[in-house]
Amino acid sequence: MNSVVSQIGDLADAGERMIERLRRKAFLPDSRKGLNVRIGIAEAAALLGCSTNRIRMAEEDGRLPPAPASETGRRLGYTVEELLHMREVLGASPRRAPLDVPAIIAVQNFKGGVGKSTVTTHLAHYLAVQGYRVLVVDCDSQATTTTLFGFNPHFNIKRDETLYPYLSIDPTQADLLYAVKRTPWPNVDLIPSNLELFDVEYELAAAGSDGGSVLAARFRKLKRGLSDLARDYDIVLLDPPPALGTISLAVMQAANALLVPLAATTPDFCSTVQFLSMMDQVLHQLTGAGIEVDYQFVRLICSKFDGNDPSHAMVRAIMEMSFGAALLPVPILESAEISHAAMRMMTIYELEKPIGTPKTHKRCRANLDEALRQVEQLVTQGWGRVQPLSEEEVIHAAA
């Protein structure tokens, strides 16, 4: 190996060391990611679909603990854990009923740079704030989602903590419980990834003449493992590699819903059309091989949309003409706040305070809530639910 080629490894090592330094700086004092966000009583009431007075009454009569307060008596706001407890006490939990099928959503596009991992992580945190039990499965050896959850895949995650021991040619695990990790969010768990997960692709490619049967077995195995885990969750989010490989195919078969992020550019649109065409061919091949694939919904969501860019508006109009109702009507807007949060290995839902201006933060959060609520509604519709009215909406309707 010549010196120029060997330099690639040096660059990778230097980059990994810098990621670890950034992680330690971001997660001081104990170098572990925490969740310090607080939710005010007005926002808590809106999330629970009740009035602030109902929360105060529950605190006064002892059903809820006294509101957290500072030394001066000012309300500090509620933690996510406290909010989850409030949901249970006030009967405002959105959890699926025992007979409802957990949503297992693959967030997939073979085009890189569309915000796939960013959408996955923000969707997980949005659903957590709404009160759902969420499992995120990072199936991509690039491990961006794992990093956003506060784990350095190079230093903190071993191959035996990923999907590898379950999917490899010589598996050492019979189920996926071994891989589930707690995250700073009390109702979000993670199966992490790292670069070594890619070894599964090599192993299955070298499976020999019976490779087809080995692949089919691995497809069924991942679906079975995820279905077993999903019993303890409401929603499972899968982040597969941005390429048509063995793991991607297994994820596509294991999911029961598909969410396709795409940016509002002509190359992204063209690439997504190619992705959909390839998916169609592959799904027909899987069905022909006796591997069942069934989706409750397939939707596309426009990400990184700049409403002030005429070219974005033009491409989005093309998307609407092409995809119709399959394109979710509310796009995720391009925002410096999302980029700034990502620099801190965080999502908007983890920020204690705005990074930019309060107006920019508020606009970004409102857009994310509206855009991601579209996915939540698809899930609850699958459970046969009609979105409940808040107390204020009921009073207004009766007036």
Q: Do 59 and 142 share a domain, yes or no?
A: no
Same structural domain, 200 and 267 = yes
Domain that holds residue 71: 41-89
Q: Give yes or no: residues 46 and 109 share one domain.
A: no
| Distance of alpha carbon 331 from alpha carbon 340, whole angstroms | 19
Same domain, 171 and 216: yes
Out of 1-15, 132-146, 154-168, 378-392, least confident range: 1-15
**pTM attached to this predicted model:** 0.88
Same domain for 71 and 157, yes or no, is no
Tokens for 374, please give them.
Answer: 């579209």
Confidence of residue 127 (pLDDT cuts 50, 70, 90): very high
Q: What is the tens place of the pLDDT at every residue in 232-284?
A: 999 999 999 888 788 888 898 899 999 999 998 888 888 888 888 888 888 88
Does residue 76 sit in the same domain as residue 185? no
Q: What element of type H or E holds 303?
A: strand 298-303
- On the question of pLDDT at 114 being above 80, the answer is no
Cβ(122)–Cβ(237) under 8 Å? no
Write the pLDDT tens digit of every residue in 196-216: 999 988 887 776 545 556 667
The verdict on residue 8 lying in a domain is no
**Residue 364 within a domain:** yes
**CA 336 from centre of chain:** 20
The answer to whether residues 258 and 359 belong to one domain is: yes
What is the phi/psi pair of residue 109, to 5°?
Answer: -160, 135
**191 and 293 in a common domain:** yes
pLDDT for 27-69, tens place per residue? 544 445 678 889 999 999 999 999 999 999 999 999 999 888 8
Asked whether residue 29 is assigned to any structural domain, the reply reads no
Same domain, 231 and 258: yes
pLDDT digits (tens, 9 = 90+) for 115-124: 889 999 999 9
Q: Judge whether 190 and 140 are in contact, CB under 8 Å.
A: no
214 and 326 fall within a common domain: yes
Asked whether the predicted pLDDT for residue 389 surpasses 50, the reply is no
CATH number of the domain encompassing residue 78 = 1.10.1660.10
Q: Is the pLDDT of residue 186 over 50?
A: yes
The reply to whether 278 falls in a domain is: yes
User: For 19-133, where are the E strands, in sequence order?
Assistant: 103-107
- The domain that holds 217 is classified in CATH as 3.40.50.300
Beta bridge partners of 143: none
Report how far apart, in Å, the C-alpha atoms of 105 and of each of 22, 109, 226, 306 are: 31, 13, 11, 26
Overall number of domains in the chain: 2
Q: Is 185 inside a domain boundary?
A: yes
Same domain assignment for residues 54 and 118: no
Residue 240 CA to residue 254 CA, distance in Å, equals: 11
| CA nearest neighbour of 164 among 145, 141, 130 | 141
The average pLDDT across 177-183 equals 96
* pLDDT-above-70 percentage for the chain: 85
Asked whether residue 7 is assigned to any structural domain, the reply reads: no
Q: Of 11-20, 99-108, 111-120, 185-194, give the lowest mean pLDDT range.
A: 11-20
Q: Do 245 and 323 fall within a single domain? A: yes
